[in-house]
Amino acid sequence: MNGSEQTEPKKSEAAFPENMMDFLEQFGTEEACLDYLCKVRWPQGFVCPECAGRQGWKTSRGTVFCGQCQRQTSPTARTILHNSRTALRKWFLAAWLFCTQKTGVSAKTLQRELKVGYKTAWLMLQKLRQATIRAERSQLTGKVEVDETFVGGQESGVVGRQAGDKALVVIAVELDGKKVGRVRLRLIPDASGSSLVGFLKDCVAAGTTVHTDDWNGYNGVRAAGFVHRVTVLQGDPERASKFFPHVHLVASLLKRWLLATHQGRVQKEHLQAYLDEYAFRFNRRRSMHVGKIFYRLMEQMVLRKAKGYREIVNPSENN
């Protein structure tokens, strides 16, 4: 094919930038970004998504032509970047800022840095948040501390586990000795056993020691296959802070992050995406290589297909 180039098998993962200078040098053109996507999506060489053929050629259009089924495939097809009209260089910079900014990046900041519309910046961040959840991520193990917290403003007449217009979030914290290890967070409709135990089954490995308070929503924890440690709080917030310090620390940092980076304007229907980002960021807080975090996010971006515009904007209509 005229102007084409046969792809070569890759024996190892794509190199990742170590700092901003590396990033700017490595991804200065659309072609460089497209080549990197190919390396991340097909680390062992091209595999056609239609016929699994392994003989492919890059075309002048930026697609890969399959020598077996004679079809052309875009490196962005069926990925987070599917059908995006935004330049790859802007997507790459958005992903880099998303991974390397300690407190994250807001849509307003991304709008300014990329010179795109606010709507575009917001949608890009929502799609990047989808990529923070690894399908094969392991469950929490060992000893896990669990409690709920409210996210939102103060409401008069709302006490205990009543949510009102506030969002109820359950938090599980894996203990690393006396330190906080990995976390999982979920927006739940209520503090019932179905919501709380269902969350534990999804996020915590069976046989793990789960430490909760005496709320009756946790009554089914032992029957669900966990070792259940219960601390009676009797509604005392001081006892809650004393006996569940790790969860309270994570909850406090979460609320501070939502207020500082996002000005507390996260709508309830979109909160889960922000919780996913927070967990992604928190669980990698000790990483010494921000470039590796960027690479892992890019991996997820090519492994997952983005939700459609309507599904992102109105998630409640798809539940």
Res. 160: pLDDT tops 60: no
In the numeric block, which tokens belong to residue 307?
């939700």
Instruction: Give pTM, 2 decimals.
Output: 0.85
Q: Is 255 helix (H, G, I), strand (E, B) or coil?
A: helix
List, in sequence order, every beta strand (DSSP E) within 83-160.
Answer: 143-151
Domains and CATH numbers, the chain: 1-131+270-319 (no CATH), 143-266 (3.30.420.10)
Higher pLDDT, 114 or 103: 114
Burial of 165 (0-12, 13-18, 19+ CB in 10 A): exposed
Tell me if 193 sits within 8 A of 217, measured CB to CB.
yes
Q: Is 311 helix (H, G, I), strand (E, B) or coil?
A: helix
Where residue 166 falls among pLDDT bands split at 50, 70, 90? Answer: confident
Where residue 13 falls among pLDDT bands split at 50, 70, 90? Answer: low
Compute the Cα dihedral for 7, 9, 12, 13 and give only its sign.
positive
Q: Which residue shows structure tokens 């492994």?
A: 303
Task: Mark out the alpha helices in 49-135 (DSSP H runs).
Answer: 88-100, 107-114, 118-130
Task: With both helix axes pointing from N to C terminus, report the angle between 118-130 and 107-114 in degrees, rounded to the nearest 10.
Answer: 110
Please give the full DSSP string across 196-220, using - where no structure is assigned.
HHHHHHHHB-TT-EEEEES-GGGTT
pLDDT of residue 153: 54
